């Protein structure tokens, strides 16, 4: 699709008619929509309760006197128990005894609309083309009306909101009034640009908010005092938003720490000013530019499968990542040399170093098309921007038959030293190695120049292990294994990839925002799959 916004404001019936006029199969519309929703749901957080969790009374049989000691617990503990149950089970506690009845009405509940289905949501998401059961919307309305107390979390993902506009508005009003803290609110298209009720912007109690397949409200009409004073995590999935709307949300979220923008329907043009944000993730997004103006707490800036206006990375216009004040930025990637421009715009840094550098970055991920000479030629410049880099992750996408030239070892040797390779890089991870001369030259250069290199991990593409080419992988790796390693103690590890379709970099959005993992790109499970081959 040439224009990423071509379907905005278009009804499903009009899209189907257009496909039929063009002689295309109308079923492709639902196929594409289902794929879109699959990715949206993949990025949503799991609810904190599950109807599949085991409920055991096995211990009750040995109680000699049969006394109900649980009901004797303090109210605060009983309400805590109720709040950890799915809404249906929480409501049923009122039938246990008169002791429990008032507790349910005051306990903070977790309402997940999929749990209201007969199967508890076990069948997964409804595919597009299958009408969402009206009983789901009716059950949500009943649950919100019946429970006068607060809601701990609410996940509404199963309804076509266009069919329930009146109910949807009442749901938002109720949740705002009852102080919901954790809200996941997804519209099942069509239309895919349904406007979100502006009343949500008055929900000051929110600590986590994920929105899917909406158009953000026109923030110029939102009351001036509206804000999210407690919001720490924000996910915008398949949304339509103006630059000013995104800026408005960031400005009104003074404690926001985690921001995810996933598959934005409009190009992302972000000027980041936030004194609280620690992690920014972009996934499957039309990226135009990011300008980190002032983000003193930002530690991670991560992107995965970002594309330009053309919709394909190979034809995209160059996007720009500009780093201003980000003194704590430690993790950056996956960058695209040759397709993205990196600019440092911190006046103090430039004045001190007179170079385009980001000295704080320790972990970097890059995706390099080693079959495109003009792309590989950009890599040294990128690496020179990170003089204190310690860990480098490199993903090598499949090399097309129309390769535009190889880069040999001489290119790297004549380009002069790269400070981080010589002085600071300790770990290198190379994914989907295919054995091209350009790949071998790059790795050999690092091996022969890296003074402090301790570990090099090479994940070999499964295509190198075809039955018709026994020993093919060893032959392609031989130049690397026979290189004159600068650090003789460096450990070379070689694994076989378990992926049949190399695609983009292996990436976990959950890991990316989990600060217990120092390196969000280091996916050990990927490298230690069954059947992996370790050479050294």
Region 115-121: what's the mean pLDDT?
A: 72
Q: Which of the given ranges, 75-89, 255-269, 334-348, 397-411, has the highest pLDDT on average?
A: 255-269
* Structure confidence by residue, pLDDT tens digits, 138-173: 889 988 988 887 888 999 998 888 888 889 999 999
Q: Confirm if 203 and 221 have CB atoms less than 8 A apart.
A: no
Residues 6+ apart with CB under 8 A from 441: 407, 408, 409, 411, 412
Strand 109-112 to 279-283 pairing: unpaired
Q: Which pLDDT does position 311 carry in this prediction?
A: 42
Q: Answer with the residue of higher pLDDT: 510 or 223.
A: 510
305 close to 39: Cβ distance less than 8 angstroms: no
- Position 450 pLDDT exceeds 90: yes
The two structure tokens encoding residue 524: 């050990």
- What 3 state SS string does 133-186 have? CHHHHHHHHHHHHHCCCCEEEEEECCCCHHHHHHHHHHHHHHHHHCCCCEEEEE
Is residue 482's pLDDT more than 60? Answer: yes
At 313 the pLDDT is: 44
The whole-number average pLDDT for the span 471-481 is 80
**Distance (Å, rounded) from C-alpha 186 to C-alpha 508?**
21
Residue 270 in 3-state DSSP?
strand
Bridge partners of 319, per DSSP, are 340
For residue 440, pLDDT over 50 is answered with: yes
CA contacts within 13 A on the Cβ side of 472: 16
The H-assigned helical ranges of 149-279 are 165-177, 243-251
Q: Is 39 exposed, middle or buried (0-12, 13-18, 19+ CB in 10 A)?
A: middle
Helix/strand/coil for 203: coil
Share above pLDDT 70 across residues of the chain, in percent, rounded to a whole number: 79
For all residues of the chain together, what is the average pLDDT? 82
**Taking each helix axis from N to C terminus, what angle separates 134-146 and 165-177, rounded to the nearest 10 degrees?**
30
Which single residue is written with the structure tokens 């919307």? 137
Q: Is 519 within 8 Å of 363 (Cβ atoms)?
A: yes
- Residue 186 dihedral angles phi and psi, to the nearest 5°: -125, 135
Q: Using 50, 70 and 90 to split pLDDT, how confident is the model at 381?
A: very high
Which of 88-97, 201-210, 409-418 holds the top average pLDDT? 201-210
Distance CA 170, CA 515 (A): 37
Distance CA 159, CA 373 (A): 49
* Contact status, residue 190 vs residue 215, Cβ threshold 8 Å: no
* pLDDT per position as a tens digit, 30-50: 676 777 788 888 899 998 887
Question: What is the band of 20 on the pLDDT scale with cuts at 50, 70, 90?
Answer: confident
CA–CA separation, 507 and 229 (whole Å): 31
Q: Evaluate whether 385 touches 360 at the Cβ level (below 8 Å).
A: no
| pLDDT at res. 532 | 46
What is residue 316's predicted lDDT score, i.e. its pLDDT? 42
| 3 state SS of 481 | helix
What three-state secondary structure class fits 493?
A: strand
Residue 10 has pLDDT above 60, yes or no: no
Give the phi and the psi of residue 260 in degrees, each rounded to 5.
-120, 125
- Residue 55 pLDDT exceeds 70: no
Is the predicted pLDDT of residue 351 greater than 80, yes or no?
no
Would you place residue 3 in the very low, low, confident or very high pLDDT band (cuts 50, 70, 90)?
very low
- Burial class for 391, CB neighbours closer than 10 Å (0-12, 13-18, 19+): buried
366 DSSP β-pair partners: 335, 394
Nearest to 214 by CA among 247, 244, 237, 243: 237
Identify the three-state secondary structure at position 17. Answer: helix
**Over residues 430-447, mean pLDDT:** 93
Single out the residue of 396, 443, 395, 397 nearest to residue 421, CA to CA.
443
Q: Are the beta carbons of 365 and 334 closer than 8 angstroms?
A: yes
Per-residue pLDDT, 21:
78
**Which residues have CB under 8 Å from 268's CB, separation 6+?**
261, 282, 285, 286, 287, 288, 290
Contact between residue 87 and residue 107 where contact means Cβ atoms under 8 Å apart: no
Token pair for 52: 């599949």
Comparing 219 with 500, the larger pLDDT belongs to 219
Rounded distance between C-alpha atoms, residue 115 and residue 52, angstroms: 10
Distances (CA, A) of 218 to 222, 223, 259: 7, 11, 20
Place of tokens 């049989």: 61
**Greater pLDDT, 311 or 493:** 493
Per DSSP, the residues of 428-446 read EEEEEE---HHHHHHHHHH
Which pTM value belongs to this model?
A: 0.87
Q: Is the pLDDT of residue 273 over 90?
A: yes
Token duo for residue 429: 């991870």
């Amino acid at each position: 699709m040439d224009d990423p916004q071509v379907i905005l404001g278009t009804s499903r019936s009009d899209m189907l008619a257009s496909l039929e006029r063009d002689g295309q199969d109308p079923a492709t519309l639902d196929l594409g929509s289902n794929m879109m929703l699959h990715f949206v749901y993949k990025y949503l957080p799991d609810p904190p309760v599950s109807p599949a969790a085991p409920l055991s009374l096995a211990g009750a049989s040995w109680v000699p006197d049969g006394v109900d000691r649980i009901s004797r617990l303090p109210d605060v503990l009983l309400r805590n128990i109720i709040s950890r149950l799915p809404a249906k089970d929480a409501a049923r506690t009122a039938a246990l005894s008169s002791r429990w009845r008032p507790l349910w009405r005051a306990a903070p509940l977790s309402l997940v609309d999929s749990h209201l289905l007969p199967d508890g949501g076990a069948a997964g998401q409804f595919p597009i083309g299958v009408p969402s059961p009206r009983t789901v919307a009716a059950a949500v309305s009943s649950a919100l009306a019946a429970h006068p107390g607060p809601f701990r979390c609410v996940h509404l993902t199963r309804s076509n909101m266009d069919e329930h506009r009146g109910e949807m508005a009442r749901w938002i009003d109720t949740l705002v009034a009852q102080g919901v803290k954790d809200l996941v609110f997804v519209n099942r298209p069509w239309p895919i640009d349904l406007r979100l009720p502006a009343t949500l912007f008055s929900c000051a109690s929110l600590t986590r908010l994920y929105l899917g397949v909406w158009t953000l409200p026109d923030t110029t009409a939102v009351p001036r005092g509206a804000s999210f004073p407690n919001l720490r995590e924000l996910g915008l999935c398949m949304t339509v938003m103006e630059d000013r709307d995104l800026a408005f949300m960031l400005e009104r979220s003074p404690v926001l720490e985690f921001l995810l923008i996933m598959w934005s329907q409009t190009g992302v043009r972000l000027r980041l000013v936030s004194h609280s944000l620690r992690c920014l993730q972009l996934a499957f997004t039309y990226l135009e530019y990011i300008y980190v103006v002032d983000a003193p707490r930002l530690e991670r800036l991560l992107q995965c499968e970002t594309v330009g206006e053309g919709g394909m990375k190979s034809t995209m216009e160059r996007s720009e990542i500009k780093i201003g004040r980000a003194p704590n930025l430690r993790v950056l990637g996956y960058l695209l040399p040759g397709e993205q421009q990196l600019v440092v715009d911190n006046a103090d840094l430039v004045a001190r170093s007179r170079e385009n550098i980001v000295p704080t970055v320790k972990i970097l991920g890059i995706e390099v098309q080693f079959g495109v000479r003009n792309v590989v030629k950009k890599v040294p410049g990128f690496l020179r921007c990170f003089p204190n880099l310690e860990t480098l992750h490199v993903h090598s996408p499949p090399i097309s038959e129309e390769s535009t030239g190889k880069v040999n070892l001489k290119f790297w040797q004549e380009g002069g030293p790269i400070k981080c390779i010589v002085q600071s890089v300790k770990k290198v991870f190379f994914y989907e190695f295919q054995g091209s001369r350009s790949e071998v030259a790059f790795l050999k250069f690092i091996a022969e120049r890296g003074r402090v290199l301790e570990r090099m991990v090479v994940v070999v593409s499964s295509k190198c292990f075809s039955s018709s080419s026994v020993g093919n992988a060893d032959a392609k790796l031989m130049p690397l294994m026979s290189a004159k390693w600068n650090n003789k103690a460096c450990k070379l590890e070689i694994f076989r990839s378990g992926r049949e379709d190399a695609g983009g970099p292996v990436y976990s959005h959950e890991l990316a925002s989990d600060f217990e993992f120092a390196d969000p790109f280091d996916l050990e499970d990927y490298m230690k799959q069954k059947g992996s081959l370790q050479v050294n």
